[in-house]
Structure 1
Amino acid sequence: MASIREETVLESSADDVWEVIGDFAAGPRRMAPGFVLDSQAEGDCRVVTFADRTVVRERRVTVDHDARRIVYAVVGGNVQPEHDNAAMQVLPDGEQRCRLTWIRDVLPDELAEPMAKAMSAGMEVIKRTLDHLSEPGSPAR
Structure 2
Amino acid sequence: MASIHREIHVATAPERVWDALRDVGRIHQRLVRGFVSDCRLDGDVRVVTFGSGMTVRERIVDVDDARRRVVWSAMGEPFSHHNASVQAFADGGGRTRLVWIADLLPDALVPQIGPMIDQGLAAMKQTLEQDDPRG
TM-score, normalised via structure 2 length: 0.93
Task: Give the corresponding residue for 2:83.
Answer: 85
Residue 7 of structure 2 is aligned to residue 7 of structure 1:
yes
CA deviation map 1:119-138 (0-9, x unaligned) = 111111111111264327x8
Return structure 1 stretches of 4+ with deviation > 4 angstroms: none
Computed over aligned residues only, the root mean square deviation of the Cα atoms, in angstroms, reads 1.6
**Corresponding residue number in structure 2 for 1:20:** 20
Percent identity (aligned): 38
Aligned partner of 2:98 in structure 1 is: 100
TM-score (norm 1): 0.89
Distance in 1 separating the partners of 2:94 and 2:28: 22
Match of 2:47 in 1: 47
What is the number of equivalent residue pairs in this alignment?
135
Letter paired with 2:68:
R
**Consecutive unaligned residues in structure 1, runs of 5 or more:** none
Unaligned 5+ segments in structure 2 are none
Secondary structure of 2:67's aligned partner:
coil
| Structure 2 residue matching 1:7: 3-state secondary structure | strand
1:4·1:103 contact (CA, 8 Å) conserved in 2? yes
